[in-house]
Chain A
Amino acid sequence: MTVASPNDFQDSLQPQGWLRYFSFSLDHKVIGLQYLVTGFLFYFIGGAMAGVIRAELASPISDFVSRETYNEVLTLHGTVMIFLWIVPVVNGGFGNYLIPFYVGARDMAFPRLNAVAFWMIPPAGILLIGSYFITGAAQSGWTAYPPLSLTTPALGQVVWIVSVLLLGGSSIFGGINFIATVLKLRRPGLKLMQLPMYCWAMLGTSILVVLSTPVLAGTLLLLSFDIVAHTGFFNPALGGNVVVYQHLFWFYSHPAVYIMVLPAFGLVSEILPIHARKPLFGYTTMVYSIMAIVVLGLVVWAHHMFTSGTPPWMRLFFTIATSFIAVPTGIKFFNWLATLWGGKLALNSAMLFSCAFIVNFVFGGITGVALAQVPFDIHVHDTYFVVGHFHYIVYGGTVFVIFASIYHWYPKFTGRMLNEDLGRLHFLLTFVGFNLCFAPQHWLGLNGMPRRVAEYDPSFTTLNQISSVGALLMAISSLPFLYNVLVSAFRGQVAGDNPWNALTPEWLTSSPPPVENWIGAAPLVEHPYGYGVDEETLSLEAATGKDLWSGAGRR
């Protein structure tokens, strides 16, 4: 394996400047930012849908939108947030931007496949959102359980299936690319156990993507046959079996949780050591726990189906398997706490969002272990308790990490710093709004409010209104963020190459990096977390030669 010489791309014909972000660019950094910006667009669309839901739920009767529209909106909200926001951003966005740096490569293994994977997303998103305006969107929730999905308006459901198939394909192509890049494209001399943790997280995630997403694709194909060709796979009136759909669906959609969360674990593992000025605690166990989560994550899906008529032995097996996922997950959290312990913590926005991630995710993890217990789940399954739980996981967990990562890597993306005061304001509003929005939902679920309803018992009004106020705060919190991101790109303080004094390879080049990532050979970073040295040896002047990184940076 040879590394291409830096001049290979100098005279490329690709569009330069801002235009390349709208092109079929093959540069992993451009593609990463394309993913990120597209993802954020869909985040605000999905957020507006959440706003519609919370506005409807501010009063106990169905009065804000029609019931059909409400179901369309909740279906689109779930689909957009999962398939167009979180999965593309934490995988495609940060993955494409960072992984080639981390393995010491000039690009991903398959640059053209990479661009194809990205360009499958905008049409899928437009199709999905457009279906609301043209044909009427799907109304059966993001889970699309038959027979409901067979009886709701067919056209919207078929468009939904096509869109999710496109997004699934994009995800699989991305996963293939990440596996090849991490395993096969490492710079000579760089060992697997020297890779930054995000590489391991992306390797684990991509294994899950490659193994589980095709099953969803096949299932949705069968579902579309049921809708279009009137076969009876999942139609009990024609002798089909609705629970088989649920098994196949959750065989993807539970690992999907790890597809959304594992990259966040990886990103946090990059951010914490840098802002705590300490090595990542327990690197080896962190790697093994990721792989344990990957293996266990594939065999826990039926815990979404404890009330679906699954036989007792199956309930028992999936309770135990699910509970045990808490062990590797717990290891990661204790390791992060130990990373913080005794560090020199910079209380900047990236650190605050990361620590809030730990707090939120631990809360969601605890309710998750509770939900894994069959008797507990039988009461709260399909209630607002579950809604609260998974928003603590995917919003309090992953979205908080996305924000932390934006604050952390924005200087690398643009060469300019984000404003810290606005960042802290954004953090405060998000943290308060998030907890205000989702914490009360646990009580609502325990006391009798099912999920996906447009109307509810009037005794739940107060807490629902508190939740809606929280949602409003979350919406407001995006204003300082947007202002910050847009204005800082032009007026932000110039960052320099390595504003955080970091050791991971993406910081050992200019900000923003050149097309081929490095002028000259890629540095060999054998100790990406080798902090804990004196200021002198970490000075920027010294931080470019590869000798330093191969050993002198350690005590």
Chain B
Amino acid sequence: MTSGALHPPDSRPAADSVPIPSSLVTLLVGMALVLSGLWVGYNVDLLPLDASANAPVYDSLFRVLFSIGTILFLGIVGLVVFSLVRFRRRAGDHTDGLAIEGNLLLEIVWTAIPAIVVLFVGIYSYDIYERMGGMSSLNDHSAMHQMPAMETMEASVSSAEGGQEPAARVWGGIGTGAGEANVLPVEVTAMQFAFIFHYPEGDITSGELHVPNGRPVELRMKANDVIHAFWVPQFRLKQDVIPGQPTVLTFTPTKAGSYPIICAELCGPYHGGMRSTVIVHEPDAYDAWLQKNSPVTATVASAPSTPTA
């Protein structure tokens, strides 16, 4: 597209004028650019292990963004470098360049193309976000999330059932999708400078998060002092833990192993040391861990006291 529009308007001798790359060259360069961008996007792996059901979804978005970004970046850097070399001022040349002040067609093209790309990226990432459970409502599936009937900014507020904890409304996060009955609830308390995990299912309190492979986990998070953030890079998930505003984070681990839990929001001097580990067990190993760590009332606790509806 650049070739036609940038024809010099004056009639300089051909040797003096800008050599216009023929449309064939432009096409070939463009194709090479797109192919190399796609190749980079799909072959250069910058991400850590994907260990949750959400991670491969995230990675597909990342690859798309990485490819588009590489194409754009290589293209623009290529144009800059080409211009700097091809159009550099030769010694003794004190003439001006071409007096081109603009081109409406070009402007339309480079307004429309980014707009379309951005629209595509936006719709695609919305789709990804929905698949991650980001659009599922946060307050209508759990008996613990109650709040008085009042105006809120959220459309998803359930009708209050007069629960005993009126402040326990969930303010944000990624909730469980509909029909997730098998959810393992874990209560997370963040404080300076540790995460405490409490399992209502076994009345276990732990400094590390143990979860069974393949089962959805719902973290119900609250903070005691300042804002923290719960982040597991291998799960591609993060949620701020906010004092006074309970949040929720749902994920399904897919690979057994140990992964770091990192506090990602500046929370004080020992912020960098506020780390823990999430250990994804195979289901039977998880049951064994549950058995071993439950308090004396293990038999009572294993009967589901179900805070989940």
Contact assessment for B229 and A382 in the assembled complex, using a CB-CB cutoff below 8 Å? yes
Report which of A312, A454, A532 forms a contact with B272, defined as CB distance below 8 A.
A454
CB under 8 Å from chain B, chain A span 293-344? 307-316, 319-320, 323-324, 326-327, 330-331, 333-335, 337-338, 340-344
For B153, the closest partner residue in chain A by CB is A311
Partner pick for A237 among B94, B110, B243, B268, CB 8 A cutoff? B243
Least CB distance, A251 to chain B, in whole angstroms:
16
Measured CA separation A351–B97 after assembly (Å) = 15
- Is the beta-carbon distance between B134 and A312 smaller than 8 angstroms? yes
Interchain CB contact under 8 A, A283 and B48: no
With A and B bound together, what is the CA distance between A533 and B98 in angstroms? 8
In B103-139, the 8 Å CB interface with A consists of 103, 106-107, 110-111, 114-115, 118-119, 121-122, 125-126, 128-129, 132, 134-135
A residues near B135, Cβ cutoff 8 Å? 312, 316
Task: Please state if A379 and B233 are interface contacts (CB–CB under 8 Å).
Answer: yes
- Write out the residue numbers on chain A whose beta carbons fall within 8 Å of the beta carbon of B122: 319-320, 323, 373
| Cross-chain contact of A243 among B58, B119, B245 (Cβ < 8 A) | B245
Contact present for B118 and A323 (CB under 8 Å): yes
Are A376 and B96 within 8 A (Cβ)?
no
In the complex, which residues 262-277 of chain B have their Cβ closer than 8 Å to any Cβ of chain A?
A: 262-273
Contacting pair B272 A355 (CB below 8 A): no
* B95 within 8 A of partner (CB): yes
Bound: A370/B73 CA distance, A: 13
The answer to whether A24 has its CB under 8 Å from any CB of chain B is: no
B13 to chain A, nearest CB (A): 15
- Once the chains are docked, how many angstroms separate the CA of A1 from the CA of B132? 62
- How far apart sit A278 and B100, CA to CA, in the bound complex (Å)? 7
- Chain B residues with CB under 8 Å of A281's CB are 100-103
Interface with B: A29-37, A441-449, A485-493, which one?
A441-449
Check B73 against A311 for contact (C-beta < 8 Å): no
- Interchain CB contact (< 8 A) of A535 among B72, B83, B94, B154: B94
- Name which residue of chain A comes closest to B96, CB basis: A277
Q: A432 in the interface, Cβ–Cβ < 8 Å? A: no
A370 touches B237 (CB 8 A): no
Contact A359 B80 (CB under 8 A): yes
A236 touches B245 (CB 8 A): yes
User: What distance in Å separates the Cβ of B23 from its nearest Cβ neighbour in chain A?
Assistant: 16
The verdict on A285 contacting chain B, using a C-beta distance below 8 Å, is yes
A376 to B58, CA, bound (A): 7
- Which B-chain residue is minimally distant from A351 (CB atoms)? B84
Q: Mark B176-218, 1 if CB is under 8 A from A, else 0.
A: 0000000000000000000000000000000000000000000
Most buried by A among B61, B122, B134: B122
B260 neighbours in A (Cβ, 8 Å): 448, 457
Q: A541 contacts the other chain (Cβ, under 8 Å)?
A: no
Bound CA–CA A47/B136 (angstroms) = 45
Q: Is the CB of B80 within 8 A of A308?
A: no
A3 → chain B closest CB, angstroms: 29
User: In the bound complex, how far is the Cα of B126 from the Cα of A315, in angstroms?
Assistant: 10
Question: What chain A residues lie within 8 Å of B262 (beta carbons)?
Answer: 448, 450
Is A344 within 8 A of B97, CB to CB?
yes
Q: Judge if A461 is at the interface, Cβ distance under 8 Å.
A: no
Bound complex: CA A184 to CA B264 (Å) = 48
A147 touches B226 (CB 8 A): yes
Report the separation of the CA atoms of residues A158 and B230 in the bound assembly, to the nearest whole angstrom.
Answer: 29
Query: Which A residues are CB-close (under 8 A) to B173?
Result: 309
- State the Cβ distance, A86 to closest chain B Cβ, in Å: 22
Given the contacts A148-B226, A326-B118, A366-B69, A342 and B98 also touching, CB distance less than 8 Å: yes
- Whether A291 sits at the interface, judged by CB under 8 Å, is no
A147 to B, closest residue via Cβ: B226
Q: Which residues of B contact A363 (CB under 8 A)?
A: 73
> If A452-B271, A453-B272, A455-B273 touch, does A285 touch B107 (CB 8 Å cutoff)?
yes
In the complex, the chain A residue whose C-beta lies closest to that of B70 is A366
**Per-residue interface assignment for chain A, residues 128 to 146, with 1 indicating a CB less than 8 Å from any chain B CB and 0 otherwise:** 0000000000011100010
Q: Is A42 an interface residue (CB 8 A)?
A: no
Tell me the complex Cα distance, A12–B272, Å.
58
Query: Given the complex, which residues of A lie within 8 Å of B264, measured CB to CB?
Result: 307, 381-383, 450-451
- Across-interface contacts of B97 in A (CB, < 8 A): 276-278, 342-344, 531-532
The answer to whether A375 and B128 touch (CB under 8 A), given A327-B118, A345-B88, A382-B264, is yes
Asked if B253 is at the interface (CB within 8 A of a chain A CB), the reply is no
User: Could you say which of A242, A284, A535 contacts B95, with CB atoms under 8 Å apart?
Assistant: A535
How many residue pairs at the A-B interface have CB separations less than 8 Å? Answer: 311
Whether A147 pairs with B227 at a CB distance below 8 angstroms is yes
Q: Does A26 contact B (CB under 8 A)?
A: no
**Shortest Cβ distance from A281 into chain B, in angstroms?**
6
Q: Of residues A310, A346, A529, which shows the largest number of chain B Cβ atoms within 10 Å of its Cβ? A: A310
State whether the Cβ of B151 lies closer than 8 Å to any Cβ in chain A: no
| Per-residue contact bits, chain B 227-239, to A (CB 8 Å; 1 contact, 0 not) | 1010101001111
Taken together as a complex, chains A and B put the C-alpha atoms of A282 and B101 apart, in Å, by: 6
Query: B39-75 toward A: CB 8 Å interface, digit per residue (1/0)?
Result: 0000000111000000001100110010011001100
Interface residues of B in 8-49 (CB under 8 A from A): 8, 10, 18, 46-48
A534 is an interface residue with CB less than 8 A from chain B:
yes
User: Does B121 contact A369, Cβ atoms closer than 8 Å?
Assistant: yes
Contact of B238 among A243, A379, A453 (CB under 8 A): A379
Tell me which residues across on chain B come within 8 A of A242, comparing CB atoms: 227, 242-245
Q: Are A370 and B65 in contact (CB under 8 A)?
A: yes
Contact A152 B153 (CB under 8 A): no
The reply to whether A555 and B83 form a contact with Cβ atoms under 8 Å apart is no
Report A358-381 CB contacts with B as 1/0, cut-off 8 Å.
Answer: 110011001101100111101101
* Contact between chains at B236 and A343 (CB < 8 Å): no
CB contact under 8 A between A139 and B269, given known A319-B126, A375-B129, A375-B132: yes
Contact (Cβ within 8 A) A379 B236: yes
User: Looking at the complex, which one of A236, A283, A338, A531 makes contact with B106 (CB distance below 8 Å)?
Assistant: A338
Tell yes or no: A266 within 8 A of B by CB. no
Decide: A534 and B237 in contact? CB cutoff 8 A: no
Of all chain B residues, the one with the shortest Cβ separation from A533 is B96
**Assembly CA distance A62 to B2 (angstroms):** 53
Q: Which residue of A lies closest to B110 (CB)?
A: A334
Asked if residues A148 and B266 are in contact (CB atoms below 8 Å), the reply is: yes
B residues in contact with A367, CB < 8 Å: 69
Residue of B58, B233, B260 with most partner-chain A CB within 10 A: B233
CB atoms of A345 and B114 under 8 A apart: no
Instruction: Tell me if B114 and A326 are in contact (CB < 8 A).
Output: yes
B248–chain A nearest beta-carbon distance, Å: 9
Question: Are the C-beta atoms of B266 and A345 separated by less than 8 Å?
Answer: no
Bound together, the chains give a CA A145 to CA B271 distance in angstroms of 14
> Contacts A147-B243, A309-B247, A382-B238; is A443 near B87 (CB within 8 Å)?
no
The interface bits of chain B over 79-99 (1 if a CB of A lies within 8 angstroms of the residue's CB, else 0) are 110011001110001111111
9 tightest A-B CB contacts, nearest first: A532-B99, A236-B244, A309-B172, A453-B272, A343-B97, A67-B269, A373-B125, A448-B233, A278-B97
Residues of A that sit less than 8 Å from B by CB:
62, 66-68, 70-71, 139-141, 145, 147-148, 151-152, 236-237, 239-243, 276-285, 307-316, 319-320, 323-324, 326-327, 330-331, 333-335, 337-338, 340-347, 355, 358-359, 362-363, 366-367, 369-370, 373-376, 378-379, 381-383, 442-443, 446-448, 450-457, 529-535, 538, 554-555
Q: A145-B266, A370-B65 are in contact. List 20 more A-B contacts (CB 8 A).
A: A67-B270, A148-B266, A152-B268, A282-B103, A285-B111, A307-B239, A307-B240, A312-B135, A316-B129, A320-B122, A324-B115, A331-B114, A340-B83, A342-B97, A344-B93, A378-B237, A450-B264, A454-B272, A529-B101, A532-B97
Offer 5 A-B interface pairs, CB within 8 angstroms, sorted by A: A279-B99, A337-B79, A381-B238, A446-B47, A450-B229
